[in-house]
Homo-oligomer: A and B are copies of this chain.
Amino acid sequence: SNNFFLLAGPCAIEGEDMAIRIAETVVSITDKLQIPYVFKGSFKKANRSRIDSFTGIGDEKALKILKKVSDTFGVPTVTDIHEISDAAMAAEYVDVLQIPAFLVRQTDLVVAAAETGKVVNLKKGQFMSPESMKHAVTKVTETGNEQAIITDRGTMFGYQDMIVDFRGIPTMKQYAPVVLDVTHSLQQPNQSSGVTGGRPALIGTMSRAGIAAGVDGLFMETHFDPANAKSDGANMLDLSLLEKLLTDLTAIRTTINSL
């Protein structure tokens, strides 16, 4: 369809019902708009600021729910891995293995993901330049796996803020398809509460700019009840706003494709 693709879903898999409910809604919208869709959910949250944050419902249990979403709706799925041993385990259940931004310099982890033969979604470290992502992609391709994608989730700007550098999009497109993570890139880290903040009111602005700047895909976390989500509630998109957002973005993409 030449539309952008979408990686979307809840931050964490909190249970089967919520996963199915979110997937069903997103699938229905993306089918209509001809947006290739990958369901996203973390089976484990390994890098919370605080030790008392929610970390998951159990690895296998969450991965099985991802598989069920895939089987039920016929969509691929993506989850993030944190240790070398996660790669083979997660690869049995999902189609795309995601390397978290903090971990994208861990060579063994990237190589382990690549060696599963799955698509590898490399999140750009908040501390990395667009140009330096070339080396991360090379770690994937040197295993013989040509299916790397890069997701930008913002760059540190002082201690408590992140910024998206749109100049990096054409740069990184030289190495792999580029996705803009429009929810995490609006985070505000290192808040005194120990819980990362966010600015979800700006998801529309960020998404529109990303599509206009030529990204291949968008990444966003969405939930039917962000305020009660078990993690990252501060920056998820309310699911009820998704259809209007994707419709608008599809219109912009159509124009961009025509230029």
Residue in B167, B190, B202 whose CB lies within 8 Å of A206 = B167
Could you tell me if A50 and B252 are in contact, using CB atoms closer than 8 angstroms? no
The verdict on A174 contacting chain B, using a C-beta distance below 8 Å, is: no
**Which residues does chain B contribute within 8 Å of A192, judged by CB atoms?**
131
Within 8 A of B (CB), among A123-152: 125-129, 131-132, 134-135, 138-139, 142
- Pair B129/A127 contact, Cβ less than 8 Å: no
Q: Identify A256's interface contact among B50, B189, B252, CB under 8 A.
A: B252
On chain A, which size bracket covers the interface?
35 or more
Whether a CB of chain B sits under 8 angstroms from the CB of A214 is yes
Residue A1 is within 8 A (CB to CB) of chain B in the complex: no
Taken residue by residue from 78 to 93, chain A's Cβ proximity to chain B (1 for < 8 Å, 0 otherwise) reads as 0000111000000000
Taken residue by residue from 161 to 182, chain A's Cβ proximity to chain B (1 for < 8 Å, 0 otherwise) reads as 1011111011000000000000
Task: Evaluate whether A163 and B160 lie within 8 angstroms (CB atoms) in the complex, with A248-B259, A251-B258, A259-B248 already known.
Answer: no
| A residues at B contact (CB < 8 Å) | 46-51, 55, 82-84, 102-103, 105-108, 111, 125-129, 131-132, 134-135, 138-139, 142, 155-161, 163-167, 169-170, 186, 189-190, 192, 194, 199, 202, 205-206, 208-214, 248, 251-252, 254-256, 258-259
